């Protein structure tokens, strides 16, 4: 049986593809747990230096599989969030490796918010984003109320969450929600290139950038300066820092190892 999350490793990039294309990669429980398992495997594998998340077929992910939240066997939101979505978001933020979200098609509900918590978010021209929750009487979860106002500002976030407007990737770009948009025909290649570039950079340092950014959302300036001091000391002890400076002085290209 095909896995609901495919893993392919190439050029030190782990590509994780949501694989329920007939349901626009909506998350059932199995897929949410499989994603966590595969993210853990990527974290622990030192040969992987960047993670690339995308969807098979025409969607990125339509969020929670709504067929699993109706009927007699409803697991309950508390269980769904604590077992499925919250651990996905915290894992992505904690992994000390860059995570690229390559939004190939529609990203709705939890699908959109999983993309938005990634380190670099790019989208295909034909992709779209919807905070779909309010249409069915829910509130944005999977970190939506945390990341979206910080990305695009309170007012726009509030309106998008309440109105559940479907916005194009170009609009998302203009709002500052995502980093870049690529034409559909070059999307896979262009987005993968970003992941491959990151994988050849000083990836331990990129992991430290991520940690410093995580705390910047809640720290005072003084606390954040201390955090920078802490992560900079760690960065200064890496092989890649030494190599970067040496290569600069020797006027040659650096050969980073992610160590």
CB nearer to ligand T3D: pick between 112 and 195 = 112
Q: Which stretch binds ligand T3D (CB under 6 A): 42-50, 66-74, 94-102, 246-254?
A: 66-74
CB nearer to ligand T3D: pick between 161 and 206 = 161
Pick from 6, 33, 41, 69: which binds ligand T3D (CB under 6 A)? 69
Pick from 33, 138, 151, 212: which binds ligand T3D (CB under 6 A)? 138
Please list the alpha-helical segments (H only) found in the chain: 29-44, 77-80, 86-94, 110-116, 144-152, 154-163, 169-175, 184-199, 203-216, 221-236, 239-249
Per CB under 6 A, 77 contacts ligand T3D:
yes
8-state DSSP, 177: S
Spatial separation of the C-alpha atoms in residues 204 and 193, rounded to whole Å: 19
For 166, counting Cβ atoms within 10 Å of its Cβ (0-12 exposed, 13-18 middle, 19+ buried), the class is middle
Nearest distance from residue 137's CB to ligand T3D, in Å?
10
Is the distance from CB of 93 to CB of 210 less than 8 angstroms?
A: yes
Is the distance from CB of 89 to CB of 35 less than 8 angstroms?
A: no
CB nearer to ligand T3D: pick between 80 and 122 = 80
Total binding residues toward ligand T3D, as defined by CB under 6 A: 22
CB nearer to ligand T3D: pick between 66 and 159 = 66
Q: Which stretch binds ligand T3D (CB under 6 A): 106-114, 168-176, 193-201, 223-231?
A: 106-114
Spatial separation of the C-alpha atoms in residues 65 and 245, rounded to whole Å: 49
Give the position of tokens 């894992």: 91
Nearest distance from residue 56's CB to ligand T3D, in Å?
13
Residue 182 has phi, psi (to 5 degrees) of: -120, 150
Per CB under 6 A, 136 contacts ligand T3D:
yes
Pick from 55, 63, 202, 258: which binds ligand T3D (CB under 6 A)? 63
Q: Which stretch binds ligand T3D (CB under 6 A): 5-13, 95-103, 128-136, 175-183?
A: 128-136
Count the alpha carbons within 13 Å of 89 in the hemisphere toward its beta carbon.
Answer: 22
CB nearer to ligand T3D: pick between 119 and 141 = 141
Q: How many residues does the chain have?
A: 259
Spatial separation of the C-alpha atoms in residues 52 and 95, rounded to whole Å: 13
Q: Dmax of the chain from CA atoms?
A: 68
Pick from 26, 88, 99, 199: which binds ligand T3D (CB under 6 A)? 26
Nearest to 39 by CA among 119, 93, 111, 79: 93
Local structure of 3: helix, strand or coil: coil
Q: Which stretch binds ligand T3D (CB under 6 A): 89-97, 102-110, 182-190, 209-217?
A: 102-110
Pick from 48, 132, 157, 198: which binds ligand T3D (CB under 6 A)? 132
> Using CB under 6 A as the criterion, which residues of the chain lie in contact with ligand T3D when the complex forms?
23-24, 26, 62-67, 69, 77, 80, 106, 108-110, 130, 132-133, 136, 138, 141
């Amino acid at each position: 049986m095909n896995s609901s999350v495919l893993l392919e490793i190439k050029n030190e990039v782990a590509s994780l593809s949501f694989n329920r294309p007939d349901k626009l990669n909506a998350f059932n429980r199995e897929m949410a747990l499989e994603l966590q398992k595969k993210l853990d495997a990527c974290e622990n594998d030192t040969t992987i230096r960047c993670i690339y998340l995308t969807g098979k077929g025409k969607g990125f992910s339509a969020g929670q599989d709504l067929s699993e939240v109706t009927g007699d066997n409803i697991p309950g939101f508390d269980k769904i969030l604590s077992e499925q979505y919250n651990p996905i978001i915290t894992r992505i933020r904690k992994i000390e490796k860059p995570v690229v979200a390559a939004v190939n098609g529609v990203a709705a509900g939890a699908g959109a918010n999983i993309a938005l918590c990634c380190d670099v978010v790019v989208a295909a021209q034909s992709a779209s984003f919807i905070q779909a929750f309010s249409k069915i009487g829910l509130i944005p979860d999977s970190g939506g109320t945390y990341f979206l106002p910080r990305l695009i500002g309170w007012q726009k976030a509030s309106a998008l969450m309440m109105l559940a407007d479907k916005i194009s990737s170009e609009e998302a770009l203009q709002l500052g929600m995502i980093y870049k948009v690529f034409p559909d025909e070059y999307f896979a290649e262009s987005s993968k290139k970003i992941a491959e570039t990151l994988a050849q950079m000083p990836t331990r340092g990129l992991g430290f950038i991520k940690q410093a950014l995580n705390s910047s959302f809640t720290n005072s300036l003084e606390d954040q300066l201390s955090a920078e001091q802490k992560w900079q000391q760690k960065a200064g002890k890496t092989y890649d820092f030494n190599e970067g400076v040496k290569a600069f002085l020797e006027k040659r290209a650096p050969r980073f190892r992610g160590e």
